[in-house]
Structure 1
């Protein structure tokens, strides 16, 4: 089968279901140092809130407030108990220390893997993330 992959494709946003727009954006901005890219009121109960790492030119997180009980049930469980999001850094020690000082909960101490330095942390709802600095190619 011939490939139809376009080099122009990329993942733009990842939706993260949250309890509250303001508490979620505050966590990502104040604790992880993300930037607020957009906060647009769509209706009295709905906003388009996008946050992303400051240096990120690519994708970000669309913070989507749970609108019903089914959506509220997945808050903090979007990865099914597995690491679900990966935050890449060029300076693991700096970011790990800053996150720790900001009160971010790490599930483990940093560890060395074949691909780089990594530690699992939780966001404000308990979703699991990897903070990772990839090893430079040999």
Structure 2
């Protein structure tokens, strides 16, 4: 009979442990998928990353490769515009790249926007760091 009592005790302990593991897993899933700050970055960290990725003076294709290697996804170039550079009108094209945290609901988005000369594809302007903490819908 003592063997049966030990087996019953172990089964109850295993059931309780299993229950705690399931509950813990549910809380971890809710935290990471619902808006937890695990995958978010602070503005100071983002500004350091932005400074390291600064594509100023680079060729457009090399700049896009460098930014995409850091985990950003770049849209197609858009908005042919004219920029004034020392009183001279320079035709430029803009491009936007973004990176999102891994949250399913309201992820944090980080943007890198820059403009490059249409004539020689050199990046001549990089916009200020732009970060949206909760980009819901």
Calculate the TM-score normalised by the size of structure 1.
Answer: 0.29
The answer to which structure has the higher helix fraction is 2
Return the index of the structure with the highest Cα Rg: 2
Structure with the higher strand share, 1 or 2: 1
